[in-house]
Amino acid sequence: MRALDLKRLNKDLRALLTGKKVQLPRYDFLSGLSVDGETAQLKKDDIIILEGIHGMNPPDLLEGIGAEETFKIYVSCLTQLNLDRHNRISTTDTRLLRRILRDSRDRGIQRKKLSLDGNRYARAKPNTSSHIRKMLMRCSIPPWLMS
């Protein structure tokens, strides 16, 4: 969460909620800079979807926006890959593979730095599971009640 520009996020959210037009930032992973993205303005009855696990972070993430104005859901793609009747690639491993591909394709991280045993991914699997479990408790409707 430290990588997020929380002041900008909150300023833009408040502007959108009051009907103003906002120039959304887009992070360019190759340059490491925030650049201008699309322009957005809410119409009547529009909603804002804050995508990503950070949307589940504590209420102070959305400064000045009350809990009664938010609805938090967790959506997970359960993408277990069955190779055959006895071998599978778990959802967690698939998530790790997606991260590696994203880092290579979109973030320009060199191939030799993408090693599964490298420091970048050594903590990813256990951290992902523990962080996601904590975030699930912050949902407006617990995922296990949704079907």
Please name the residue ranges forming H helices in the chain: 6-17, 91-106, 119-122, 124-136
Question: Which pLDDT tens digit goes with each residue over 62-112?
Answer: 777 777 888 888 777 677 788 888 988 887 788 788 878 887 777 777 666
Is 63 among the domain residues? no
- Check residue 91 and give its pLDDT: 79
**Between residues 13 and 93, which one has the greater pLDDT?**
13
Q: Please state the pTM of the whole predicted model.
A: 0.65
The number of distinct structural domains making up the chain is 2
Question: Which pLDDT tens digit goes with each residue over 14-48?
Answer: 899 999 999 999 888 778 788 999 999 999 999 98
**Between residues 101 and 129, which one has the greater pLDDT?**
101
Is 65 among the domain residues? no
Is 31 among the domain residues? yes
Q: What's the token pair of residue 18?
A: 């009051």
Asked if 92 and 132 sit in the same domain, the reply is yes
Q: What's the token pair of residue 99?
A: 């991260």
Q: Are 96 and 127 in contact (CB under 8 A)?
A: no
Q: Which residues contact 82 (CB under 8 A, 6 or more apart)?
A: 88
- Check residue 88 and give its pLDDT: 87
Confidence check: pLDDT of 113 > 70:
no
Is 125 among the domain residues? yes
Widest CA span in the chain: 55
Is 127 among the domain residues? yes
Asked if 89 and 40 sit in the same domain, the reply is no
Helix (H/G/I), strand (E/B), else coil: 2: coil
Other C-beta atoms closer than 10 Å to the C-beta of 93 total 15
Q: Which of 45-54, 67-76, 128-137 has the lowest mean pLDDT?
A: 128-137
Per the structure, the complete domain to which residue 17 belongs is given by 6-49
Is 75 among the domain residues? no
- Check residue 125 and give its pLDDT: 60
Asked if 136 and 85 sit in the same domain, the reply is yes
Is 107 among the domain residues? yes
Asked if 86 and 38 sit in the same domain, the reply is no
Q: Is the dihedral of CA 19, 141, 146, 4 positive or negative?
A: positive
